[in-house]
Amino acid sequence: MGSVADERALGFGGLVSELREVFDSGRTKDMEWRQSQLRGLLRLLREKEEEIFDVLREDLGKHRGESFRDEAATPLVAFPATAFVLPEPLGVVLIFSCWNLPIGLVLEPLSGALAAGNAVVVKPSELAPSTAAFLAANLPKYLDSKAVKVVEGGPQVGEMLMEQRWDKVLYTGSGRVGRQIMAKAAKNLTPVALELGSKCPCIVDWLDSNRDSQVAVNRIIGAKWGTCAGQACIAIDYLLVEEEFAPILIEMLKSTLKRFFTKPEFMARILNKKHFQRLSDLLDDPKVASSVVHGGYFDAKTLTVEPTILLNPPLDSDIMNAEIFGPLLPIITVKKVEDSIAFLKPRPKPLAIYAFTRNEKLKNRIIQETSSGSVTFNDAIVQYGLDSIPFGGVGPSGFGQYHGKYSFEMFSHKKAVLKRSLLIEFMFRYPPWDDNDSKI
C-alpha cells in the first residue's frame, strides 16, 4: 500500500463516490428531503446552542453575546433598512467565438455585454475569416469604436489576449481550449463562461400517426443536416429508438432526405480538410463502416459529405464517444424507449437532450432523471432562438448561461446594497454583555 497521503486520497475517493451514489439515487432532489435538511439545521442551532457558544469561546475567545449575533440575529439588527440589488457592469470583457455560427455567436453575447455596460473585445474565429473581417470592418462603424474592439487572428492571438487581465471571458469552442482559457483566467481570478460541445442525443418514441412521425422526421433532418451540415453544438448527434421502430424510421429518413435535398447547395459543406478528414476517420473502423445503412459518400473536392445514417455502430467506437459535428447520424436501438434514460444517465452531460414523444410520463422522467443544458420535446435546435430561456451547458458541456436577460446577467455583477437608518439602535450588539442574558 502507499503512503498515508495515498490512503487519504483513496478515502476521499470513497467519500465522493458515496455522495455520488446518494445523489444519483435522486433522494436529494425531493422537496421533502430538502425541507427536512433545512429543518435539521434549525434544530441543530436550537438544540446545540450552548455547545456552539462553548466551541466559539474555545476557538476564538468569543463572548456568548457576540456568538449569538454570529448565529441568528442579523435581520433584526439591520432594522430599519432597505436592501436591494444593483447590477453593475463587470468592466472590460473578452468574447471568443467559434466558426460555425460566426455572426450569432458574436452578436448574441456582445448585446448582453453592452446592455450591461461593459467595454468589450471580440475575438472572432479565424476559421470563418470572411465573417471575422466583416465584423472587424463593420462593428466599429455601428458601435462606439473606443469601447468595442474586434481583434482578428488565430490561437496565438487568443493566447496573447489571455495574457491580459479581463473582468470576464466568454469562450465558445472546444473543451480542450476551454480548459486552457480557464487555467489562464485563474491567474487573475477572472470569471469565465465556457460554451462547449457535447453529444446531443435524441430519443424518438413511436408516434401513433404517420403525420406526427413525418413531422418528427422533418425536424430531425432539419436539426441534423439542415443546420450547418450537423456542425452545430446543439445538432442532434445520435438517435435512440426502439428496435422495432428503427427500420420504419430509417425508411422515412431516407425518403424525406431525398425530397428535401434536391440540390447539393441545400446542405452546408464541411469547414475544412481537417474536419473532413476527421469525419472520414470516424468511419475507418470496419465495424463502424459496416453499420452504415444510408449514404457514406465523401467528396474531397467539394468538402461535402452525403447525409449518412448508421445503425448500431459499436458503443465503444469513436463515433459513439467523440462529438460528431458533421452529417453522420448513428441510430442506437433500445428494447423499450424508457431504456434510453438508463443509456443517458452514465454518459457526460450534454448541451441538449431531445425527445420526440407524446408520452407525458416519459417526458417527466427525462426532465427529472437526466441532466443537460436544455431539454426540448418534439423539436430540436429551436430552443436556441428563445430569449425567455437561458442557453448554456452543464458539466463537460460548459457553464454560464446567456440569451435574453441571461446575457445581461452574464456580464453584470449583482451588487448587494443595504441602506441603514441611524434612527434606532440596539445596544445588545455591543459589550458589555451579561453572561445570563445574551438573547434578545
E strand or H helix at 42 = helix 31-47
Reduced to 3 states (helix: H, G, I; strand: E, B; else coil), residue 187 is coil
| Segment near ligand NAD (CB under 6 A); pick from 9-17, 122-130, 250-258, 358-366 | 122-130
Count of residues of this chain found to bind ligand NAD when the rule CB under 6 A is applied: 29
Q: Which stretch binds ligand NAD (CB under 6 A): 25-33, 85-93, 167-175, 203-211?
A: 167-175
C-alpha count within 13 angstroms, C-beta hemisphere, residue 405: 3
Q: Is the distance from CB of 184 to CB of 173 less than 8 angstroms?
A: no
Query: Which 136-155 residues touch ligand NAD, going by CB under 6 A?
Result: 154-155
Binding flag, residue 112, ligand NAD (CB under 6 A) = no
Residue type, 440: I
Residue 299 bridge partners (DSSP)? 304
Rounded CA gap, 211 and 151, in Å? 49
C-alpha cell at 126: 479565424
Shortest Å, Cβ 420 to ligand NAD: 43
What distance in Å separates the CA atoms of residue 234 and residue 196, rounded to the nearest whole number?
Answer: 10
Element (H, E) at 110: helix 104-115
Q: Does 119 sit near ligand NAD (CB under 6 A)?
A: no
Query: Do residues 317 and 287 lie in contact, with contact meaning Cβ atoms separated by under 8 Å?
Result: yes
Quick one: which segment of 97-105, 212-220, 222-230, 248-256 binds ligand NAD (CB under 6 A)? 97-105
Asked if residue 195 binds ligand NAD (CB under 6 A), the reply is: yes
Annotated active-site residue in 98, 200, 202, 233 = 233
Binding ligand NAD by CB under 6 A: which of 49, 70, 152, 159? 159
Q: Which of 170, 323, 329, 372 binds ligand NAD (CB under 6 A)?
A: 323
Find the part of the chain contacting ligand NAD (CB under 6 A) among 55-63, 119-127, 141-149, 283-291. Answer: 119-127
Q: At what angle do helices 210-224 and 246-260 cross, to 10 degrees?
A: 60
Q: How far apart are CA 105 and CA 111, in angstroms?
A: 11
Closest C-alpha among 242, 234, 239, 200 to residue 217: 239
Catalytic residue among 66, 108, 195, 323: 195
What is the signed CA dihedral for 236, 242, 244, 248, rounded to 10 degrees? -20
Compute the distance between CA of residue 250 and CA of residue 365 in angstroms, rounded to an integer. 26
350 binds ligand NAD (CB under 6 A): no
* R_g (Cα) of the chain, nearest Å: 27
Closer CB to ligand NAD, residue 66 or residue 195? 195
Residue 99 interacts with ligand NAD (CB under 6 A): yes or no: yes
Residue 196 interacts with ligand NAD (CB under 6 A): yes or no: yes
For the question of residue 202 being annotated catalytic, the response is no
The x, y and z cell numbers of residue 377, run together, are 420535446
Q: Which of 126, 152, 167, 285 binds ligand NAD (CB under 6 A)?
A: 126
Interface with ligand NAD, residue 205, by CB under 6 A: no
**Largest Cα–Cα separation, the chain:** 88
Can you tell me which of 67, 118, 125, 370 binds ligand NAD, judged by CB under 6 A? 125
The residues, any chain, with a CB within 8 Å of residue 74's CB and separated by 6 or more, are none
Look up 195 and say whether it is catalytic: yes
Q: Does 318 bind ligand NAD (CB under 6 A)?
A: no
> Applying CB under 6 A, which part among 59-67, 141-149, 171-179, 403-411 lies near ligand NAD?
171-179
The residue from 122, 148, 177, 341 that contacts ligand NAD (CB under 6 A) is 177
Burial (CB count <10 Å: 0-12, 13-18, 19+), residue 363: middle
CB of 61 to ligand NAD, least distance (A): 50
DSSP letter, residue 418: E
Whole-angstrom distance, CA of residue 412 vs CA of residue 113:
8
Smallest CA-to-CA distance from 92 within 411, 401, 408, 410 is with 411
| Rounded least distance, CB 119 to ligand NAD, Å | 19
Q: CB nearer to ligand NAD: give 177 or 202.
A: 177
Binding status of residue 96 toward ligand NAD by CB under 6 A = yes
Minimum CB separation of residue 162 from ligand NAD in Å reads: 6
Q: Quick one: 212 or 409, whose CB is closer to ligand NAD?
A: 409
Closer to ligand NAD by CB, 109 or 313: give it: 109
Smallest distance from the beta carbon of 112 to ligand NAD, in angstroms?
14
Please report whether residue 398 would count as binding ligand NAD according to CB under 6 A. Answer: yes
Residue 351 contacts ligand NAD per CB under 6 A: yes
Distance CA 270, CA 278 (A): 10
CA 14 to CA 115: how far, in whole Å?
46
Nearer to ligand NAD, 143 or 394 (CB): 394
Q: Could you list the residues that contact ligand NAD (CB under 6 A)? A: 96-100, 105, 123, 125-127, 154-155, 158-159, 162, 172-174, 177, 180, 195-197, 233, 323, 325, 351, 393, 398
Query: What amino acid positions are annotated as catalytic residues?
Result: 195, 233
